[in-house]
Amino acid sequence: MISKPILDIRAPEKDKVTFECEVSRTNADVKWFKGDTELKPGKNLGMHSSGRKRSLLIQKCSTEDQGTYICRTTDDNTLAKLTVHARDIKIVKRLEDTEVMEKESASFVCEISHDEVDCQWYKGSSKLKVGDNIRMRQEGRTFVLLFKSVTTEDVGEIKFTAEKASSSAKLRVKELPVKFVKRLRDKIAMQKHRGHLECQVSRASARVSWYKNKKEITSGNKYEVRSEDVSRKLTINDVCSDDEDTYTCDAIDDKTS
């Protein structure tokens, strides 16, 4: 006989669930069923007997485990329902905006409320993957995203998702000061020919201004100003004696004459 029945259980996904009842005799044999299917011990399912107590243990429940469970003796039975609902996963520690210098490392840290959660990192709408410049690690419920050496292309919104919960933050990158890696050199040009001055900057996106003495130069019939990758070039057309002077390429952070 069943002296104490099993009770309905409502549990979140991946929780441990235990159905327990009591029988009238310590040596009573029982069988456990889910619906009409007899259950057997397995990796996720355990059955225990202690005195007059009989228990069925589900290690990590899922929505597939929902249903009616029955404990049967030779002359009696007891049944109860298992309802499994989604976990209420929350962000415990949110991402914080980060600003670093170009070529420095940048890290984002997020902590969630539950274990064993499917999590993803995004930059904008693109899912991030581990690579030469990106590392990801998990320490318990804490998740870390690391950029080893940031560039201006890494600027944007970083997002962490843990099922339906999410947190976002901005990654800002300060550009390194522009330096001239190849400076201007004095040049001699023949009259009526073209004169060329060329230098190189440390970043292809660097903007420069050209000056003759202190007067800014713009492209036209007389001057051609060009940028090709990190090269910055000034061409003087139809060179004459009036063109003799000091020419300067100014990148704000650095200049060369």
**HSE on the CB side for 45, CA within 13 Å?**
11
Rounded to whole angstroms, how far apart are CA atoms 29 and 1? 10
Residues 6+ apart with CB under 8 A from 49: 30, 55
Q: pLDDT value at position 189?
A: 80
Q: pLDDT value at position 176?
A: 83
10-residue averages of pLDDT along the chain (257 residues): 95 94 93 95 94 95 95 94 94 96 94 92 95 94 96 93 95 89 87 88 88 88 90 90 89 86
pLDDT tens for 92-146 read: 999 999 999 988 999 999 999 998 898 999 999 999 999 999 999 999 999 999 9
Rounded to whole angstroms, how far apart are CA atoms 233 and 208? 10
| Residue ranges of E strands in 140-212 | 142-147, 156-162, 165-174, 180-182, 195-201, 209-212
Is the pTM here over 0.75, yes or no?
A: no
Q: pLDDT value at position 209?
A: 92
Q: pLDDT value at position 107?
A: 96
Mean pLDDT over each residue of the chain, to the nearest integer: 92
pLDDT tens for 134-144 read: 999 999 999 99
Q: pLDDT value at position 65?
A: 96
